[in-house]
Structure 1
Amino acid sequence: MADLSGQHSEIVLNSLPAEKLTEHTFLHLPQEICGVLLGTTTAGGIQIEQFIPIRNVAPDPLHSFLLNPAEWVPHALNTKQLIGIVHSHPKSNPTPSTEDLDRLHLYAGMLKTYLICTPEPITSTLIIHAYHIVRNMDTGTSRYYLHQAPLTIAQIGI
């Protein structure tokens, strides 16, 4: 049976990590970027409070991402604030690719959210799609899926 708890809850991305994510994405074009998201969960949703870039060590960083294990593992071991990961699709829509879904099981068990972003060069903005990570056990084996979620970018301290 699918674990659908929280799949309709809002994901809030604070403005400072949103700005850092935008800057990092444009700085590394045309390569895909990746990183971890730190924050908190509440009954009302997920609050993303920090974006930490992690070096993309994929063999083909123009078309895929692989979190640098030396940077990723310390975050994976400290799951108190680890809430999700993010990566970019520099030349395509911010929707999960087949490769994204095939590799989701590698880290989905410790995460709640997954962001994919696409740079919009004309306006120098970032299109960001947010997804809840959903665990489905209908087949007798644990499998993870992404369910698109509402995303709000919050202005903090204004």
Structure 2
Amino acid sequence: MAALRGQQNTLYIPSSVEQEMSEYMFHSLPQEACGIVLGEAAAGGIRISRFQPIRNVAPDPLHHFQLEQAEWIRCIFQEPTLIGVFHSHPRTEPLPSLEDIHALPTFAGLLNVYLIGSPVHPSDSTSHNKMNLHAYEIESATHTPDEVNEGSKHTLQPLQLRMT
């Protein structure tokens, strides 16, 4: 996965995969939904080919997500390549929360894409069951020798998302 870092600036996701993620998110409401995305990296960007839902076993699933451990471990070894994690923010915009930032060390090194979805609040009948999806690249911050002793620091950088 390290070979993917810093090489892509666009994430390509088929509309059918985005629809599957959206349906799973709405089916999971009012709880946060979570899962992983699989695909491949190419010179022109990262291409998602599949979404795999994973049960949310967080003690407070209305406000947090935690991937069910056995399902998560199985997904690490799946083909195609594990690319990223998806979770939803059922009541807020799909922007990284403090909890998201604090959870990054769990995924850094294994994944390089962090997807957050949230329901589009119905302002008219055409937005029913639509998802607002944002993509971020997980980056490791550069450390000074003193910072290395404090632990790993990671950030989320916006990633261009294209539906195919």
Structure with bigger RCO (C-alpha 8 Å, 6+ apart): 1
Within a 5 Å distance, the mapping from 1:135-150 to structure 2 comes to: 135-138=140-143, 139-140=147-148, 141-150=151-160
Of the structure 1 ranges 20-29 and 75-84, higher mean CA displacement relative to structure 2 is found in: 75-84
**Cα distance, 1:78 vs. partner?**
4.2
More helix by percentage: 2
Aligned partners of 1:27 and 1:80: how far apart in 2? 26
**Cα distance, 1:135 vs. partner?**
1.2
Listed as ranges, the gaps of 5+ residues in structure 1 are none
Aligned partners of 2:101 and 2:139: how far apart in 1? 12
Within a 5 Å distance, the mapping from 1:1-158 to structure 2 comes to: 5-6=6-7, 9-78=9-78, 81-122=81-122, 123=127, 124-138=129-143, 139-140=147-148, 141-154=151-164
Listed as ranges, the gaps of 5+ residues in structure 2 are none
Contact 1:10 1:151 in 2 (8 A): yes
Paired letter, 1:63:
H
Paired letter, 2:18:
A
Paired letter, 1:147:
Q
Structure 1-normalised TM-score? 0.89
SS in 2 for 1:110: coil
Aligned partners of 2:132 and 2:88: how far apart in 1? 10
SS in 1 for 2:35: strand
SS in 1 for 2:109: helix
Contact 1:79 1:110 in 2 (8 A): no
For residues 63-101 of structure 1, what are the alpha-carbon distances to aligned partners after superposition, in whole Å with 9 as ceiling and x for unaligned?
Answer: 000000010011124475100000000000101110110
How many percent identity over aligned positions? 41
Aligned partners of 1:51 and 1:113: how far apart in 2? 13
Structure 2-normalised TM-score? 0.86
Aligned partners of 1:137 and 1:74: how far apart in 2? 31
SS in 1 for 2:90: coil
SS in 1 for 2:135: strand
> Quick check: which has more Rg, 1 or 2?
2
More strand by percentage: 1
Matched pairs, number: 151
Of the structure 1 ranges 40-49 and 70-79, higher mean CA displacement relative to structure 2 is found in: 70-79
